[in-house]
Amino acid sequence: MTTDEALVRALRDGDDHALATLYERHRHALYAYSARMLGRAEEARDVVQDVFADLHARRATLPALRSVQAWLFTIARHRCLNALRAQRDHARLAPRPADVAHADASAPVLAGEEVALVRRALAALPDDLREALVLREYLDLPYAEIAAITECSESAVKSRLFRARQQLFERLHPVLHEGEAS
């Protein structure tokens, strides 16, 4: 299988099929990251498309990348953070996701609702904690790569993941301990 780095070199040399291969290879992960960071499918789709439009536009001047995946996620991350800022600017008076998640966490969980509860609980986490958890749990990225994408140290990643899990477990208590309650 052709490596990502070789595909980027081919793209730089004018092989546009390389772009389609990179897209096929990374679109699910980028969508998962963007969807869980932003909470909206349409915005996540736009981020993924923007990332590849950006890659295509800059193909002639792409530098030699150590990790193409990390580079793609770095672009997606900046776009997600900008979109989150825009969301907050436009919805200061709307109910915060945290309030909704706490309210739902106290209610009984029916079968099939646990995925929706996980999504609400994730949305209620602070951005930096949610980001670390999504990169780890949804994308299985190692700590070193999470640190590179989020521009922090590996020990900071470790600490964020611990705090993210603490808060997530608190909100998911009805799901995680459903059998014990009955």
Binding site for another protein (CB under 8 A): 16-17, 19-20, 22-23, 27-28, 31-32, 35-36, 41-42, 44-45, 48-49, 52-53, 55-57, 59, 114-115, 118-119, 136-138, 142-143, 158-159, 161-162, 165-166, 168-169, 172, 175-176
The residue (of 57 and 94) whose beta carbon lies closer to another protein is 57
Task: In angstroms, give the least distance from the CB of 49 to another protein.
Answer: 5
| Residue corresponding to tokens 């096929």 | 24
Q: How far apart are CA 177 and CA 182, in angstroms?
A: 9
Give the DSSP letter of residue 61. Answer: G
How far is the CA of 52 from the CAs of 2, 6, 62, 87, in angstroms? 18, 17, 13, 23
The residue (of 86 and 116) whose beta carbon lies closer to another protein is 116
The residue (of 32 and 81) whose beta carbon lies closer to another protein is 32
Task: In angstroms, give the least distance from the CB of 23 to another protein.
Answer: 4
Q: How far apart are CA 119 and CA 132, in angstroms?
A: 15
Q: Give the number of residues written for the chain.
A: 182
